[in-house]
Structures are given as structure tokens and as C-alpha cells.
Structure 1
Amino acid sequence: MSRDELAALQLSRLRATVADAYERVPLHRARMDAAGVRPADVRSLADLHLLPFTAKADLREHYPFGMFARPLGELARLHASSGTTGKPTVVGYTGDDLDRWSWLMARSLHAAGARRGDVLHNAYGYGLFTGGLGAHYGAERLGAVVVPVSGGSTARQVSLLVDFRARVLCSTPSYALAIAEMAEQNGVDLAKDSALEVGMFGAEPWSDAMRAEIEARLGLRAIDVYGLSEIMGPGVACECEAQAGLHGWEDHFAFEVVDPETGAPLPEGEAGELVITTLTKQALPMLRYRTRDITRVTTARCDCGRTHLRILRVTGRNDDMLIVRGVNVYPSQIEAVLVGLDGTAPHYQLVVDRQGRLDTLAVEIEAAPGVANDAFPAIAGRAAQRLKSTLGVSCEVRVRSPGEIPRSEGKAVRVRDLRRKEA
């Protein structure tokens, strides 16, 4: 579609979604009433900013089904977050929602280079997490041959990748590196011994440095796929083979970038917080959902010819940002400095603590196999110097032995926060 045709479709679907949310979801109706906004006030896409924001806390406060726009008997599936930091966020889908999700994931896979008949090795976790089933049903809709291996049993994953000749790998980027590491320990070079050509990696922020590491060790093109359970799951946006930004599927979602502090809309190209409104979701319509992801967008046409706007690489999350001696730092920025450092493996953790009234940051990195212990101080010194010169942050760097930093079969745990919670 042309940009004008896409905008007309968005407006039609936005007006229908706002009316539905106002009529069926008490929270949206109460907030719009408090703001003096009625569904009829949304006459153009520019009026989107009139609507109040929605946040993850709203889902937790209305646990489990208080934000659903359809009764439970009309739903086909429930998903939920892990709830490790409180009540889980619960999301629901009608049969039509699941159908659209499958088509959007099929579209995303095709944009990434996957094709009908490809063997697709799905190492995303299955269950309440949306990644595994989202990729699975999208791949089946595309016509791919799905290997539903889920996460874990990493040595077996390596064997299956080689034996089943998968062309496409779906996993978190950190688990892709864990698979590569296991293969190398077992004498398998997946870049040569497998048929892998396309990797669909998401569910956690990752840097261009990690992309290069994955591509070199697995011998594939590493594609970024983006999604949130609260909005749909994976497939809200996806890179194409040009790897020049995530195509946000604007026929089903409206995207904004706002100032993280004030909530004011920002012009195209400026970095801020990504805000998403669903346009076709039945069970759980979300109005101006604050993702906490920091990024930029562009409507410049991609070399692939697609007209959907592009979400440039997510550089971090508002709620993951660390303030170290007055400097704002995101874990993904630290990762970009550390990945590829001589003598190290691409595994790290950030340990945040508090001494008196000041927060402290220690960076734990892992030595590459075969590196002698007496080389650890020099590696730590080089890492500390690079962090200081690149990010302006002075911090302690600790080098751990190979295998000492925990591996993740799902989303990597990058930050260990040891600070005492305030009463």
C-alpha cells in the first residue's frame, strides 16, 4: 500500500478499536471520560495523542481478566508473563486474534527470508510465554516444516540442527550463542556442518556486535523480530533481509515515539519511548501502550520496497536503564562494548549494588576457553578502559572462568540487582 492508503486503513481501524475499547473495557472508558475524550473525537491519526496512555501496571492491577473486551467464553487462548516481579500480566486471544497473529508471523518470517518448505527449528520456549507458539503457528501458516524443540537440552538441539537440516532457527539471541558454544565444545561447526541460513531472534534487546557474533558462529543472516505479549506476541514488527530496521506492521498497529519523561509526541527520527496502539485486536485492545523500549522510527522507504515505517534498533528499555555516577547506561550499550573483546566469550552480567547512598556497577565477563587465569587482570583492564572511553562510565570489571556466567534457555538475565529495597 501507499502511505496514504495505509493511513486511511489505520484511521478506519483505529476509530473502530477506540469505540470498542470505550464500550467494553471499564478502564479505558473511565480514563477517556476523565480526559474529556469520546470515541467520536478521534477524527484523524493526529488525534491519537488525545487518548490516555496504558501501561503494564494496568494489566497487573486488573489481574486477571479486568482489561478484556470479550467474555472469557469467547476466547480461544490465554498467555501470561512469568510474574517474577509481581502478579503476571495475562493476555487473551479470540480465534480471530490467533488467526491474525499467525498471518503476521508468517509475514514476518517471509520478510526475513523464510520460505514454504523450509525446515524451521523453533527453540523459543513453549507454554505461557508467547514466543514459542507465536513462531510455531506463524511458521505453519507460512508452510514451513516446524521442529518444535522448545528451549533446553542444548546438546540435542545441536544434533537436531545438523540431522534435520534446518534452514531457519528461531530463538532468543543469547540462546543462539549458547547453541553455538555447545556445538563448538562438541566439535561441530554449525557454520559449515548445518544448513542454517536465516535466524529469527527476539524477546530481548541485542546489539549489532552480538548480531555479528551470531552470524559468524552460526553461518546465517541474523534477523531481529519484535513483539510484546501485551500487544500480540512476536511479529508486531520484523526486519526484512536488508536488516535496515524493523518493519512495523501498520495495518494492525499504530506506532508513536514519545518523550519518556513528559509523554509528549516526538518528531520522526528522534529517540524516545515506543508507544503502540492495537488496531485489530478483539480480546485485549490496547490504547497507547507504553512499551518502555527506547528507539527511533522512519517512514523512509526501505530498499526492499515495503512502505511500512521502520523501527530502528531498540537501544534499551526505560525500566532497564542504570544511572551510574550520574551517567545513564543501558545494558545493551555495555554489551556492544564487550562483545568481541579479545580473550572473552559473549556472556556477561551486570551487578548493581549500593554503597551508602551511591549505586555501584560491576561488570562480570567470561574468559574464552583456553585463556589462562593469569591473563584475566589484563582483560579486565582492557574492558574497563573501553567502557570508560566509550560510555564515560568507570566500573569494576570481573573476569570469570569459562562457563561460570549462567546461560539462559529463554530471555537472558543481564542485570543482578543487589540493592536493598527501600521500605
Structure 2
Amino acid sequence: MNRQSALRNAEVFMFDPAAERMPREALAGLQFQRLKNTLEHAYANVPHYQRAFAAAGVKPESLSSLADIVRFPFTLKTDLRDNYPFGMFALPRQQLTRLHASSGTTGRPTVVGYTSGDLDRWANLMARSLGCAGAVPGDVVHNAYGYGLFTGGLGAHYGAERLGCTVVPMSGGGTERQVSLLNDFGANVLCATPSYALNIAEVAESAGVDLRRSPLRYGVFGAEPWSEALRQDLEARLGIKAVDIYGLSEIMGPGVACECHVAQSGLHGWEDHFLFEIIDPETLAPKRFGEAGELVITTLTKEALPMIRYRTRDITRLDDTPCRCGRTHLRIMRVTGRDDDMLIIRGVNVYPSQVEAVLVGFPGLSPHYQIVLTRAGALDAMTVEVELAPGAPDDEQSRARKGTEVRHHIKSLIGVTCDIDVKRQGEVPRSQGKAVRVKDERKARS
């Protein structure tokens, strides 16, 4: 079987339940063959990889085992920007069926492309992920991920259709209408960012709509790091099981990995289509299995945009202990944050998700917050804007006491000293998609 046929025949393994329970030895053999095909495909068709492989002193035939992947160079987000728009594609643009792109708010956007085969595999992997999360054919899937150049909305949409579900393509925004249609259409599954799901829950409560009494059973939440505390809050407010899903546009989009609704303990990474590594983000050395570090992913079946050792900047660890659901694919434990999102405040390393874990469920506070960064002289300073829960005393003295309590709690649990700005209900911005948790005012004030 030639390389192109091997890539195209990958969908045979896509939506077969047996593929999720392959013996580890068979899975490793499949990965090795697909990795060889991918290295050959990238090297033959992408000038960037020809140059990068030459600089590292390797060729596709340098691979004699899966462990040899460490000899190959990393791919960075800047590589996609430097080769904007189509320089990283392994096929001519005319052979692509769809393009997606990042917002490009910090420079050139990153552009990703798909062949019809890539889109078919993506739909199958998303169907697999939604099934893993608890969805079944015939369910009503309310899709509140954003549609457009962002991969979340269309990824979830086609995956749910492939599974045999009825899709409500809401996208983000119009939260009052979201609540009405969730209730009126009897949605069984909600797909959204966790921060927007929280907004939906709050608007439903304000409107007197108890979604806990609706047919809603599962929430499939991703596109941003979120804490276990927020999971528990969403489950209590919506009456669901809240399941984490993972993906990124450079690799495919959503559906690279997903938690099972049985264990809700780490995301099954679909190893028949992706090779996962953990490295030290500083030294770039491989980490031992089970150790925390930066997640690196190599695609195994992509035609248009093969990615070799892509540095995700997401901090996590891998776990291959047996899962109660019976799936054999390793688990990516909950992403605690991104290496490039880490804040250093007066010598203390802080991730926004750590702050969230402290605030969600704190007595007298709603789960909405924002971190504001400023500079005081030569030092960075952090202010956490929090919001009072409905019914909490909002006089000046009560707010000052609450601020003192929160400041002490963050200091004792995270080790960072910060200011707390206690706001009244509704004063912290609500998410309509991906939440903006950090507002950086340092350059504006310098």
C-alpha cells in the first residue's frame, strides 16, 4: 500500500468502536507505520520540513522506531506565520476543500487547510469524541461554539451529524435565545466553552428556567483551560455531566482528545491519528511518562497540513493506566494552563486556572472573574476583579471584608500577593465564546 493510500484508508479505523480498544502493541505498530508515511509526505512536499530536517541531520528513513521521533525538529506556531498563508501545506491550495485561520490579533494569522479526506476524518474523530462524552445517535446537540474561521463550531457540527444527532447550530451570543431553545428543543448535549456555558447557566437562572429539569444530560466543553471547581459548578447548575474536550486548529481542531463520561478523569488522546509526547518547556528534553510538561503532538493521518512535533505550549501529563470505560488510548490529564499564559508576579508563577480554582465556589462570590495586570515601577502587579453572588451584601464595608478574605485565600493557596476589586453583580464581563481572563494593561501604562 503506498503512502497516499495509507493516509486515505485511515478512516477505516475512525468510527469503529474496536479502534478505541486496540491492544497497545497493535496501536504502537499502527502509529509507527503512519508516522513513517507522514514524515515521507511532509519531507517530500513541504520546503520548511526539508530545511528543518536537514538542519537536524535527519531524513524520514532516520526513523527506525517510535522513540526516534525525538531526533526530529519541533514545529512552532511561528513557523506557520513565517510561511503565511500556504507555505506549510503539503498539497497545492487547489486541492484543499476548506481553510480556517486564527484571529491574527498579535500579528499574522495562522492558516490551516483540509482536504475532503481530512474533513471526513475530522468528522469521524469528532463523532468518536462526542460518543466518548456520552452523546448517542438521535440526541439533540445544541452547538454554542463559534462558527466561522474558528474551528470549534464547524468541528462539533459535522461530528454531531456524523454520529447521527440532530444539531442546533446556535454559535455564540444571543444568550437569552440560547436558553429558550435549549429548553424548547429539549437539547440533550450542550457544546460550548466552559465560560460561555457558565453565562448560559446564569441567564437561565435569571429567567427562571431550570435547565436541571430539562433533558440536558451532558456538556462537552473545551477551547480554554478550566478548573475542576468550575466543572462541579456547571454540573450543579445545569444538572449534567461536564466533559472536557481538547483540540487545536494546527493539529485538526476539536476532537484530538476527549474525556469519557464514565470516568471523567483525563482525555483519551486518539493515538491512531496522533502521536503524543511531553517535554520540558525550558530544556526541550523528553519527560518521563507521568511527569508534567509541555504537550507535543505529531499528526499521523493529515494530508493537507501534516504537523511534525508541534509544540502546543499546553502544560499537562500523560497517563496510560487502564480506564474504567475500557478504552486503551492514553489519557491527557486536564490541561492546567499554557506555558505562554503563565504569569510571573513578583517572582511567583501563576496560571489563571489556579485563580479560577480558588474563586469558583468561594462563599458570597459568583464564578466570574478577570485578572488585570499593571506595572508598579519595575514590578508587575496583579488585580483580580471578582463579583458578588446574587443576594450577597454589597455595601462598601461588606465588599471590603470580602476582598480581604479573597486576598488572604489566594495568598495562602497560590502564594501570590494581589489586589482584589470586588464588583457588584453583572459588572465583570461575560463570555460570548472564549473568555478573556487576563487583561494586560502593562504596556498601556508604561
On whether the aligned pair clears a TM of 0.5, the verdict is yes
**Separation (CA, whole Å) in 1 of partners of 2:174 and 2:215:** 20
Distance of 2:303 and 2:294 partners within structure 1:
25
**Does 2:367 align with 1:371?**
no
Return the letter of the residue paired with 2:344: I
Instruction: Name the SS for the 1:303 alignment partner.
Output: coil
- Structure-1 residue corresponding to 2:229: 209
1:221 maps to: 241
TM-superposed deviation, 1:85: 1.2
1:135 matched to 2:156: yes
**Counterpart code for 2:265:** A
Equivalent residue number for residue 396 of structure 1? 419
Counterpart in 2 of 1:356?
Answer: 377
1:89-108 equivalences in 2 (<5 Å):
89-108=110-129
Q: Can you list the C-alpha shifts for 1:194-238, whole angstroms capped at 9, x where unaligned?
A: 211010000000000000000000000000000000000000000
Q: In structure 2, the residue corresponding to 1:420 is in which secondary structure?
A: helix
Distance, in Å, in 1 between the alignment partners of 2:343 and 2:325 is 37
Structure-2 separation of matches of 1:48 and 1:168? 38
Which residue in the other structure is 2:14 paired with?
none
> What residue in structure 1 maps to residue 98 of structure 2?
77
CA shift, 1:150, in A, is 0.8
**Which residue in 2 is equivalent to 1:5?**
26
- Provide the C-alpha distance between the structure 1 equivalents of 2:392 and 2:87, rounded to a whole number of angstroms: 54
Matches within 5 A, 1:20-419: 20-192=41-213, 194-241=214-261, 242-374=263-395, 375-419=398-442
TM-score in terms of structure 2 length: 0.93
Paired residues, number: 422
Query: Structure 2: how far apart are the matches of 1:421 and 1:44?
Result: 51
Deviation at 1:353, TM superposition (A): 1.0
Separation of aligned partners in 2, 1:83 and 1:6: 37
Aligned partners of 1:219 and 1:40: how far apart in 2?
A: 53
Partners of 2:287 and 2:419 in 1: how far apart? 36
Pair 422,278 (structure 1): closer, same or farther in 2 beyond 3 Å: farther
Separation of aligned partners in 1, 2:206 and 2:107: 38
> Separation in 1 of the partners of 2:118 and 2:101?
16
SS at match of 1:200: strand
What's 2:12 paired with? none
- Residues 290 and 317, structure 2, Cα contact 8 Å, conserved in 1: yes
- The Cα shift of 1:352 comes to 0.8
Q: Which moved more, 1:141-150 or 1:369-378?
A: 369-378
| Native 8 Å contact 2:189 2:218 kept in 1 | yes
Q: Is the 2:375–2:445 Cα contact (8 Å) retained in structure 1? A: no
SS at match of 2:162: helix
RMSD between superposed Cα atoms in Å: 1.1
Q: Residue 274 of structure 1 aligns to which amino acid in structure 2?
A: L
Matched, 1:17 2:38: yes
CA apart distance, 1:371: 2.1
Distance, in Å, in 2 between the alignment partners of 1:78 and 1:402 is 41
Q: Secondary structure at the match of 1:373?
A: coil
Distance in 2 of aligned mates of 1:273 and 1:301: 23
Superposed displacement of residue 91, structure 1: 0.2
Structure 1 residue 421, shift from structure 2 partner: 7.5
Query: 3-state DSSP class of the match of 1:169?
Result: strand
d(CA) in 2 for partners of 1:182, 1:220:
17
CA distance in 2, matches of 1:29, 1:382: 57
Measured in 1, the distance between the counterparts of 2:401 and 2:73 equals 52
Answer whether contact 2:374 2:445 (CA < 8 A) is retained. Answer: no
The one-letter code sitting in structure 2 at the alignment partner of 1:227 is G
Distance 1:420 1:335, change over 3 A: same
Return the alpha-carbon distance in structure 1 between the equivalents of residues 183 and 56 of structure 2: 58
Aligned AA (1:43): S
State the one-letter code of the partner of 2:407. Answer: A
SS in 2 for 1:323: strand
CA distance in 2, matches of 1:196, 1:383: 34
> In the TM superposition, what whole-angstrom CA distance separates every residue of 1:262-302 from its partner, at most 9, and x where no partner exists?
11000111000000000000100000000000001011111
Q: Unmatched 5+ residue regions in structure 1?
A: none
Q: Deviations over 1:108-132 (max 9, x none)?
A: 0001110000000000011000000
TM-score under structure 1 normalisation? 0.99
SS in 2 for 1:178: helix
> 1: distance between equivalents of 2:34 and 2:252?
16
Structure 1 segments of 4 or more deviating over 3 A? none
Unaligned residue ranges in structure 2 (runs of 5+)? 1-21
How far 1:369 moved relative to its partner?
Answer: 2.0
Q: What displacement does 1:422 show?
A: 11
**Greater CA deviation, 371-380 or 145-154?**
371-380
Paired AA for residue 371 in structure 2: L
SS of the aligned residue for 2:420 comes to strand
* Shift in alpha-carbon separation, 1:421–1:366, aligned structure 2, 3 A: closer
Query: How far does residue 370 in structure 1 lie from its aligned partner after superposition?
Result: 2.4
Percent identity between the aligned chains? Answer: 66
